Amino acid sequence: MNTSAALDVDLALVGGGGAASLVLAALDRHGVRDLRVAVVDPVHRRGQDRTWAFWDRPGSDLDPLLAASWDQVEVATPDGRRVLDLAPLRYAMLRSGPVYARAAEAERRLGVRRIVAPVDALYDDGGHVTVRVGGGSAVRASWVLDSRPRPPRRPGRTNWLQHFRGWWLESAVPVFDPARAVLMDFRTPQPARGVSFGYVLPVSDRYALVEYTEFGPDLLTDAGYDAALAGYRDLLGLDPTRLTVREVENGVIPMTDGPFEARPSPRVVRLGTAGGATRPSTGFTFSAMHRQAEQVARALAAGRPPMPAPAYPRRHRWMDAVALRALDAGGVGGPDFFGRLFDRNPAERVLRFLDGATTPAEEVALMGTTRLRPMVAATAGDAAARLRDRLDPTRRAATWTVPRPVVGDRADADG
């Protein structure tokens, strides 16, 4: 292979979205200056294309970038509404614009070379990785951090999607409570198979992101998302005639126990959703990406290979597989499952659990608060399915891909 024209770098970021932006910012924060870095992505991400919500401890590098944060959140089910104090954590919202701008600033300081093109393939000979673009060798890198979207190595036993539509709503009058976000509101009509909920992320008393989300196997239609979101708006008691939709946000995130390969070859490390940073039972991804970006930067700053710890411990991935199976079988209802978790445990413990940061003893306590019979059935079902797969590896479908979001062109809030 002719690699003479290739750009020689120490690190190539293949994919320059959320995960890569956080890595660039972390490298800059760690004062890394002597590393030759390239970013290859067909899109140079700028401005608002998504909103990240996550929880963390106040006082991180993200503080100056946040659009809002809340010490209290609400979780609602048909049984009632709970106001949860998150201390010492907080729930926070980050718009993509400031994250991409921070990454651009880091890129300038690090002297990053950017190639705006899709990568076709990576060839790892164990010493270097050749990054192929448009049929030619564009970059030769000592290490590649690859965050191009991709499906799991093989489909999971449960393959669900978190799919959603959100409206950034501006109100003519004060209607939102900026002191409190709605984390999950399960009073929405529940789908025949899956879980639905709404949420509200207010940045002021007149401006908020209001979103309708489903966990389940299939997407809705464009009209279906609009109807569901309008229904949630009405459930909140918001008057559509006094609201303007300023922006629309759509997304689809995998929720699967299929394995995402974090280290496909010796010098390629996958990050972001492609590297398993998406928590299968919730779709939350941001905190794991942020954690791994810090680990990668710390390693590179110390002259070590950029290999982060797995996004979640193995036992958490197993617990997620069981939870997904229980939800998919219908033995556990989403509102009941999440309602009981938040009713019977300190909110801070539930959130740490969802980040994969609890101890086994805490996990036993948490599991003890879910409904025993369907969870035992799902655990037995998971064990039996693993055994069947081992005996007949061809049993499961060969591939499973995450569909693109359904994107409409609505410009008003009327449903």
Ligand X SMILES: Cc1cc2nc3c(=O)[nH]c(=O)nc-3n(C[C@H](O)[C@H](O)[C@H](O)COP(=O)(O)OP(=O)(O)OC[C@H]3O[C@@H](n4cnc5c(N)ncnc54)[C@H](O)[C@@H]3O)c2cc1C
Write out the residues near ligand X by the rule CB under 6 A.
14-20, 40-43, 45, 50-54, 118-119, 147-149, 249, 251, 253, 272-274, 284-286, 289
CA torsion, points 330, 161, 23, 358, in degrees to nearest 10? 0
Indicate the residue among 147 and 345 with the shorter CB distance to ligand X.
147
- Which of 374, 283, 280, 395 is closest to 329 using CA atoms? 374
Indicate the residue among 285 and 370 with the shorter CB distance to ligand X.
285
CB of 104 to ligand X, least distance (A): 13
- Give how far Cα 81 sits from Cα of 4, 57, 215, 305, Å: 64, 24, 21, 47
CB atoms within 10 A of CB 119: 21
First to last CA, the chain: 57
Indicate the residue among 43 and 87 with the shorter CB distance to ligand X.
43
CB of 19 to ligand X, least distance (A): 3
Indicate the residue among 152 and 251 with the shorter CB distance to ligand X.
251
CB of 368 to ligand X, least distance (A): 27
CB of 340 to ligand X, least distance (A): 23
CB of 255 to ligand X, least distance (A): 11
CB of 219 to ligand X, least distance (A): 13
- Which of 155, 160, 159, 132 is closest to 144 using CA atoms? 132
Indicate the residue among 284 and 312 with the shorter CB distance to ligand X.
284
Q: How far apart are CA 386 and CA 392, in angstroms?
A: 10
Indicate the residue among 33 and 153 with the shorter CB distance to ligand X.
153
CB of 180 to ligand X, least distance (A): 17
DSSP labels for 78-136? TTEEEEEE-TT-EEEEEEHHHHHHHHHHHHHHHT-EEE-S-EEEEEE-SS-EEEEETTE
> Checking DSSP bridges between strand 207-216 and strand 159-171, what pairing results, if any?
antiparallel
CB of 34 to ligand X, least distance (A): 25
Q: How far apart are CA 261 and CA 130, in angstroms?
A: 19
Indicate the residue among 93 and 243 with the shorter CB distance to ligand X.
93
Q: How far apart are CA 213 and CA 188, in angstroms?
A: 10
Indicate the residue among 78 and 149 with the shorter CB distance to ligand X.
149
Is residue 274 within 8 A of residue 185, CB to CB? The reply is no
Residues 6+ apart with CB under 8 A from 295: 308, 309
CB of 168 to ligand X, least distance (A): 12
Any idea how long the chain is? 415
Indicate the residue among 140 and 148 with the shorter CB distance to ligand X.
148
Question: What's the DSSP call for residue 299?
Answer: H
Query: What ranges in 302-368 are assigned the alpha helix state H?
Result: 314-329, 334-344, 347-354, 360-367
